[in-house]
């Protein structure tokens, strides 16, 4: 596994486990709450609210992003993280 991406097991209890995925943009605690950002936004919430709820990551719906605003525009705007101003994974 790459140094940029690793999984650390923090605790176990029977079949349950608590861990952390470490990526270049930060750590994702597992199990994880991962809201989906359709077209770069989590509907009905501001990103500070998403962060306050404990989300370490937002999943990007690449199909919707391809349709609108489009891959070229996202790239011109500095990538998805820059576009939505979310520095975490």
* Residue pLDDT, tens place only, 56-80: 999 999 999 999 999 999 999 999 9
Structural domain range at position 31: 6-84
Task: Give residue 74's Cα distance to chain centre.
Answer: 16
Q: Give domain status of residue 66, yes or no.
A: yes
Q: Give domain status of residue 1, yes or no.
A: no
Q: Give domain status of residue 38, yes or no.
A: yes
Q: How many domains does the chain divide into?
A: 1
Q: Give domain status of residue 56, yes or no.
A: yes
Q: Give domain status of residue 89, yes or no.
A: no
**pTM score, whole prediction:** 0.84
Per-residue model confidence as pLDDT tens digits over 26-65: 999 999 999 998 888 899 999 999 999 999 999 999 999 9
Largest interatomic CA distance in the chain: 48
Non-local CB neighbours of 30 within 8 Å, separated by 6+ positions: 7, 17, 18, 19, 20, 21
Q: Give domain status of residue 30, yes or no.
A: yes
Q: Give domain status of residue 16, yes or no.
A: yes
């Amino acid at each position: 596994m790459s140094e940029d991406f690793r999984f650390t097991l923090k605790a176990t209890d029977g079949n349950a486990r608590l861990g952390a995925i470490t990526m270049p943009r930060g750590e994702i605690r597992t199990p994880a709450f991962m809201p989906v950002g359709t077209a770069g936004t989590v509907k009905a919430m501001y990103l500070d609210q998403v962060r306050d709820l404990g989300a370490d990551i937002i999943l990007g719906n690449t199909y919707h992003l391809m349709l609108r605003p489009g891959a070229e525009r996202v790239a011109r705007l500095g990538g998805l993280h820059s576009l939505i101003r979310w520095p975490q994974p």
